[in-house]
């Protein structure tokens, strides 16, 4: 099978969905001629000059276009340049789009709220505390919202296409450090539904649930520990809302141990919820307390020597796994 990058997978998904539905449109700061700050939409503007739109620096204005157009039945795919900036548009996620269907009692003629907000997520670019965060933990409690958090080119393309065809508000988290990684993606069309956690590697001694960059680190760890005879199962939830707990709980019932790995700070980490639901759903099976491998509760430091330690490493994940095996 051919291999393409995550960025190429996104571009293909957008292009295919724009071909399929003439009311899909892409817009945001610098997404047009410039191709987006990370080059993800490169070439899209040339193909659809009327449907790839540059905006001024006005995130709430962007979300206004998004919600109104979505309620009108169009399919907006806005981009906000860094996931850190979702704080600026929080009202549109927390009080508007995610609640509108409920507050209006799902009236005939609305209330559609189908849009996909693409946001580059995560650390590793030496961009300091305001341009490096993984923001999923801020979004987890928002009822009515969906969160996609893919880690591979295959999942990214399939989930983005699936999200665009849906009719719910979706925040689509794209990790910046993964844009360039390559992976197999078939030429033919496919979709990856939400709420379908993927067992990226089977194992029997411990379940590791990880997202985005941490999926890749956990897979590397699994290989390293295999040499010691420790068999690690790695699960990527792929979407955090809705969350496929069934796959995770079944895995823990088998391995009897759980480590969750997420790039963001530890307190109220998005994956804490997974650990708690495992305790509720598989308490009698657990042979050790679940362990969180997450960042310290600090802003992200700029200096490369500091950031490299702030972001959890393979060794940190191994330490977490060993904790459950004591």
Catalytic residue list contains 16: no
| 270, 136 contact by CB (below 8 A) | yes
50-58, 134-142, 150-158, 173-181 -> range binding another protein (CB under 8 A):
50-58
211 binds another protein (CB under 8 A): no
6-14, 53-61, 281-289, 318-326 -> range binding another protein (CB under 8 A):
53-61
71-79, 133-141, 212-220, 257-265 -> range binding another protein (CB under 8 A):
71-79
CA–CA distance from 61 to each of 70, 304, 324 (Å)?
Answer: 14, 35, 48
Distance CA 45, CA 56 (A): 16
Distance CA 71, CA 237 (A): 29
111 binds another protein (CB under 8 A): yes
Report the residue number, 160 or 230, with the smaller CB distance to another protein.
160
Answer for which of 42, 85, 242, 268 binds another protein (CB under 8 A) is: 242
81 binds another protein (CB under 8 A): no
| 33, 206 contact by CB (below 8 A) | no
33-41, 94-102, 177-185, 307-315 -> range binding another protein (CB under 8 A):
94-102
113 binds another protein (CB under 8 A): yes
Answer for which of 38, 45, 82, 92 binds another protein (CB under 8 A) is: 92
Angle, CA of 308, 297 and 149, to the nearest 5°: 70
238 binds another protein (CB under 8 A): no
**Binding-site string for another protein from residue 171 to residue 210, where x marks contact by CB under 8 A and - marks none:** ----------------------xxxx--------------
Catalytic residue list contains 131: yes
1 binds another protein (CB under 8 A): no
148 binds another protein (CB under 8 A): no
Q: Considering the complex, what minimum distance in angstroms separates the CB of residue 23 from another protein?
A: 7
33 binds another protein (CB under 8 A): no
Look at the block and give the residue holding tokens 């650390």.
Answer: 123
Q: Considering the complex, what minimum distance in angstroms separates the CB of residue 113 from another protein?
A: 8
Does 111 sit behind a cis peptide bond, omega within 30 degrees of 0 on the bond before it? yes
| 86, 34 contact by CB (below 8 A) | no
Contacts of 107 (CB under 8 A, 6+ apart): none
Active-site positions read 59, 131
Interacting residues toward another protein by CB under 8 A: 23, 25, 55-56, 58, 60-61, 63-74, 76, 91-92, 95-96, 100-114, 143-144, 146, 166-168, 193-196, 239, 241-244
């Amino acid at each position: 099978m051919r291999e393409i990058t995550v960025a190429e997978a996104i571009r293909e998904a957008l292009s295919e969905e724009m071909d399929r539905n003439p009311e899909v449109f892409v817009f945001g700061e610098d997404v047009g001629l410039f191709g987006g700050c990370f080059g993800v939409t490169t070439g899209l503007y040339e193909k659809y000059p009327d449907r790839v739109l540059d905006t001024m620096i006005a995130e709430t204005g962007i979300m206004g276009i998004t919600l109104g157009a979505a309620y009108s039945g169009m399919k907006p795919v806005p981009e906000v340049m860094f996931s850190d900036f979702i704080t600026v548009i929080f009202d549109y996620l927390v009080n508007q789009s995610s609640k509108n269907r409920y507050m209006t009692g799902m009236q005939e003629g609305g209330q559609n709220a189908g849009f996909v907000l693409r946001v580059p997520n995560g650390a590793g670019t030496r961009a300091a505390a305001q341009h490096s965060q993984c923001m999923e933990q801020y979004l987890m409690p928002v009822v009515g919202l969906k969160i996609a958090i893919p880690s591979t080119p295959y999942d990214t393309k399939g989930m983005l296409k699936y999200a665009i065809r849906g009719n719910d508000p979706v925040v689509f988290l794209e990790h910046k450090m993964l844009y360039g990684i390559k992976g197999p993606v078939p030429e033919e069309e496919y979709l990856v539904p939400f709420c379908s956690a993927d067992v990226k590697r089977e194992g029997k001694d411990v379940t590791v649930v990880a997202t985005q960059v941490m999926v890749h680190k956990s897979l590397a760890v699994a290989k390293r520990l295999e040499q010691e005879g420790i068999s690690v199962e790695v699960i990527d939830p792929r979407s955090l809302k809705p969350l496929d707990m069934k796959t995770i709980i079944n895995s823990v019932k088998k391995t009897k141990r759980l480590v969750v790995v997420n790039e963001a700070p530890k307190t109220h980490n998005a994956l804490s919820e997974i650990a708690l639901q495992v305790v509720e759903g598989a308490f009698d099976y657990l042979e050790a307390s679940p362990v969180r491998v997450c960042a310290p509760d600090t802003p992200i430091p700029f200096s490369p020597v500091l950031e490299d330690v702030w972001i959890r490493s393979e060794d940190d994940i191994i330490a977490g796994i060993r904790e459950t095996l004591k």
